Amino acid sequence: MLSSITILTLPALILASPTLHKRLANGLALTPPMGWNSYNHYNCAPNQSIIHSNAEALVSLGLADLGYTYVTTDCGWTIPHRTADNKLTWNGSLFPAGFPALGQYIHDLGLGFGVYSDGGVQMCMTGGVNQTGSLGHEATDAETFASWGADLLKYDNCYSSAEKDFPNVDYEPLTSPHQNYVNMRNALDATGKNLLFQICDWGVDFPSAWAPELGNTWRVTNDIIPNWRTIFRIVNQVVPQTDHAGPGRWLDLDMLEVGNNIFTHAEEQTHFALWSILKSPLTIGCALNDSFTSVSASSLAIMKNENVIAFNQDALGVSANLTRRYSDEGYDVWSGPLSGNRTVAALVNWNNHSIDATLDLPDVGFQIAGWVRDAWTNETRKNVMTSCKASIEAHGTLLLELGETVPAGVYQLDGAPVSSPCNLKVNKQGSSYQISTGQSSVTLPVTLIAGNNNTLAISTTSPIESITITPPNGTFYPNTAFTISGPGNASHITCVPGLCAPLGVKIGDLSPNNSASLTIPASAKAVGSRYVELTYINNDVAISTSWGEGRNARNITISVNNQTTRLEVPLSGRSSELYSAMKGWGDSAVLGVLVDGWKEGDNEVVVGNVGGEKGVQSLGADFVGLKVF
């Protein structure tokens, strides 16, 4: 492949422009809020002694000192009906001292008092019990919570749609729950008290598009469930929306299951690592201490890991995102920037067996890291060049902090003096270039061979600061150039103007039985494994299937000369799955993947869903195009 090298006398600098979103600015949650909530362990059956003993444990176990300060009593605290003056009140047999006293108790421990209500006609409850919700009573309820000294309101979404005969959970309401949250936002403002507002509509109607101006946090997915498969489902939904997170506004991945004896130690680490680096609120959901149980030392150690908490609470406030996915190998690479020119990188092993994995630094944007710290062991390695190897437990995560990094493709030299003029040899083939006086960099084309070790030998009298190798521009092959064959409904679909970028057309309904093919020529230098960027569309939002096998993912395969690479893509939708023009099926995304099988001459490239019948979804992701490098 033809690349170019730039020999620079200054290190390269990469600048990113921030995306700005309209947002709430109430000065709260400048870093993701941390605390404890009763729901994951106690369901809708909290009571005073439960809240007291867990709040005390937050303090005595040292969690409060690490930032876990909000204590929220979730569903089940109230009674079926309002009081004579139309207010919500607590269940006196469960909370004999009452809610104002509960708030005082929590405040006396130095903690924040979190309350819970629901934007619908009734609250979420179990066992066929009904409890009145806040719909139509927003002003009264906000005033009540403020008068009790509440610091935080979690606002749920059960029975939000009266039109559909009061279903408990309605994932496809006739009207968006958005207005219920606007109403409560206005009601909270009217109290004159500043409450942290946690929106919990389970991701219905793509709240990242409207919630940042209403709340400090918003749930992006349906509930976390006590099963390992829930982690993959949740993070796949977060991928297209990570850029909506920022100081004062955070994507809520739901409360933690760490400590609930559902996951192995490695699984709990993966769960906590992903929640931390994706900047989710860290809301402990286990029984820290009650009359039956207390949290295990190993789970506690995970939640108290200061390295990992620091990723979550980092002052920069930028979420990590999915950088590369190796579906056939079963692992992901996630990464994101931290303050102080540091980076966090996570290699997540989805296999239920341990793997020896290699984190290629260029996959997270770097060539060299001056130091790399393992967040779990706190061990630091110095001068890590190009890659980092580690053994990762079943369902575990290698979690690294990187500093003193050098961008991918940049090789820093010592500036050692050499001879004149500039002689460049690539794989022993040489040329000579003249450098003019005063010239600070020179850019030269070089031919590197994919998959090989290439040697660059440079000699010049000018001291060299660094060399930068820029990969060639890829060639984009649009889906419109591909020919569809095989039975089934696969077809080219014209999208609503502006969608299915960059083409306005996609291929939908790829199945195990049909596919789209194109002949792509390749030179002798571009054989074997090549980097390919896939532009795809997937908005298979697993809301109603989230207790089952819903994964928020679809497979797509790229076969080159019958050698098949599978990529299980996350969601790409960045608009409402219910009310937008194509229900999120017009929002495209790009993910890179190494594709093997290339040979010199014509290559048969087939996009489809080979083996799709073995998956949860036999239809593949929609296909927009391939960029081959």
Ligand X SMILES: *[C@@H]1O[C@H](CO)[C@@H](O)[C@H](O)[C@H]1NC(C)=O
Which residues are part of the catalytic machinery?
Answer: 156, 223
Q: In this complex, which beta carbon is closest to ligand X, that of residue 440 or of residue 519?
A: 519
- How far apart are CB 569 and ligand X at their closest, in Å? 9
* Beta carbons within 8 Å of 577's beta carbon, 6+ residues apart: 205, 206, 539, 541, 543, 583, 584
Q: Does 17 bind ligand X (CB under 6 A)?
A: no
> How many CB atoms lie under 10 A from the CB of residue 122?
19
- How far apart are CB 585 and ligand X at their closest, in Å? 16
With CB under 6 A as the contact rule, the residue among 57, 150, 196, 234 that binds ligand X is 57
Q: In this complex, which beta carbon is closest to ligand X, that of residue 94 or of residue 195?
A: 94
Q: Which stretch binds ligand X (CB under 6 A): 32-40, 284-292, 354-362, 508-516?
A: 284-292
Residue of 362, 364, 326, 369 lying closest to 345 (CA atoms) = 364
Residue of 204, 130, 215 lying closest to 170 (CA atoms) = 204
Q: Does 360 bind ligand X (CB under 6 A)?
A: no
- How far apart are CB 93 and ligand X at their closest, in Å? 5
| Cα dihedral 593, 594, 596, 599 sign | positive
Contact 215, 185 (CB under 8 A): yes
With CB under 6 A as the contact rule, the residue among 378, 439, 440, 483 that binds ligand X is 378
Amino acid of residue 200 = C
User: Which residue's CB comes closest to ligand X?
Assistant: 615
With CB under 6 A as the contact rule, the residue among 473, 487, 497, 524 that binds ligand X is 473
Q: In this complex, which beta carbon is closest to ligand X, that of residue 182 or of residue 337?
A: 337
Contact 152, 142 (CB under 8 A): no
Q: In this complex, which beta carbon is closest to ligand X, that of residue 217 or of residue 321?
A: 321
Residue of 618, 502, 499 lying closest to 556 (CA atoms) = 618
Residue of 546, 537, 540 lying closest to 202 (CA atoms) = 546
Q: Does 538 bind ligand X (CB under 6 A)?
A: no
* Beta carbons within 8 Å of 90's beta carbon, 6+ residues apart: 77, 78, 79, 98, 99, 102
Q: Does 453 bind ligand X (CB under 6 A)?
A: yes
Q: Which stretch binds ligand X (CB under 6 A): 86-94, 149-157, 246-254, 496-504?
A: 86-94
With CB under 6 A as the contact rule, the residue among 341, 443, 475, 544 that binds ligand X is 341
With CB under 6 A as the contact rule, the residue among 340, 438, 498, 521 that binds ligand X is 340
Query: How far is residue 276's CA from residue 397's CA, in Å, rounded to a whole number?
Result: 13
Q: Which stretch binds ligand X (CB under 6 A): 32-40, 109-117, 383-391, 614-622?
A: 614-622
- How far apart are CB 103 and ligand X at their closest, in Å? 18
- How far apart are CB 554 and ligand X at their closest, in Å? 5
With CB under 6 A as the contact rule, the residue among 452, 455, 489, 494 that binds ligand X is 452
Q: Which stretch binds ligand X (CB under 6 A): 182-190, 250-258, 551-559, 578-586?
A: 551-559
Cα dist. 485→345, 505, 517, 567, 626 in Å?
Answer: 41, 17, 8, 21, 18
Pairing type for strands 112-118 and 70-72 reads parallel
With CB under 6 A as the contact rule, the residue among 376, 554, 575, 626 that binds ligand X is 554
Query: How far is residue 574's CA from residue 456's CA, in Å, rounded to a whole number?
Result: 43
Angle value at C-alpha 598, between 597 and 604, nearest 5 degrees: 90
Q: In this complex, which beta carbon is closest to ligand X, that of residue 83 or of residue 491?
A: 83
H-run or E-run covering 589: strand 589-598
**Which position has the token pair 């009207």?**
175
The torsion region of residue 79 among left (phi > 0), alpha (psi -120 to 50) and beta comes to beta
- How far apart are CB 438 and ligand X at their closest, in Å? 24
Q: Does 166 bind ligand X (CB under 6 A)?
A: yes
3-class state of residue 50 by DSSP: helix
With CB under 6 A as the contact rule, the residue among 617, 624, 626, 628 that binds ligand X is 617
Q: Does 553 bind ligand X (CB under 6 A)?
A: yes
The CA dihedral of 71, 75, 81, 85, to the nearest 10 degrees, is 20
Residue of 570, 563, 575, 572 lying closest to 610 (CA atoms) = 563
- How far apart are CB 217 and ligand X at their closest, in Å? 18
- How far apart are CB 195 and ligand X at their closest, in Å? 26
Q: In this complex, which beta carbon is closest to ligand X, that of residue 515 or of residue 555?
A: 555
Query: How far is residue 533's CA from residue 518's CA, in Å, rounded to a whole number?
Result: 16
Number of H helices, E strands in the chain: 9, 34
Q: What is the DSSP letter of 478?
A: E
Q: Which stretch binds ligand X (CB under 6 A): 43-51, 181-189, 204-212, 411-419?
A: 43-51
Q: In this complex, which beta carbon is closest to ligand X, that of residue 176 or of residue 511?
A: 511
- How far apart are CB 68 and ligand X at their closest, in Å? 14
User: What phi, psi does 389 have (nearest 5°)?
Assistant: -105, 145
Contact 308, 276 (CB under 8 A): yes
Among positions 215-254, residues that touch ligand X (CB under 6 A) are 228, 242-243
Angle value at C-alpha 550, between 549 and 556, nearest 5 degrees: 105
Among positions 103-142, residues that touch ligand X (CB under 6 A) are 128, 130
Q: Does 53 bind ligand X (CB under 6 A)?
A: yes
Residue of 107, 94, 88 lying closest to 50 (CA atoms) = 94
Q: In this complex, which beta carbon is closest to ligand X, that of residue 166 or of residue 171?
A: 166
Q: Does 307 bind ligand X (CB under 6 A)?
A: yes
Q: Does 79 bind ligand X (CB under 6 A)?
A: yes
Q: Does 313 bind ligand X (CB under 6 A)?
A: no
Judged by the rule CB under 6 A, the positions of this chain that interact with ligand X are 47, 49-50, 53, 56-57, 60-61, 79-80, 91, 93-94, 128, 130, 166, 228, 242-243, 289-291, 306-307, 321, 323, 340-341, 352, 365, 378, 380, 452-453, 473, 551, 553-555, 561-562, 568, 604, 611, 614-617
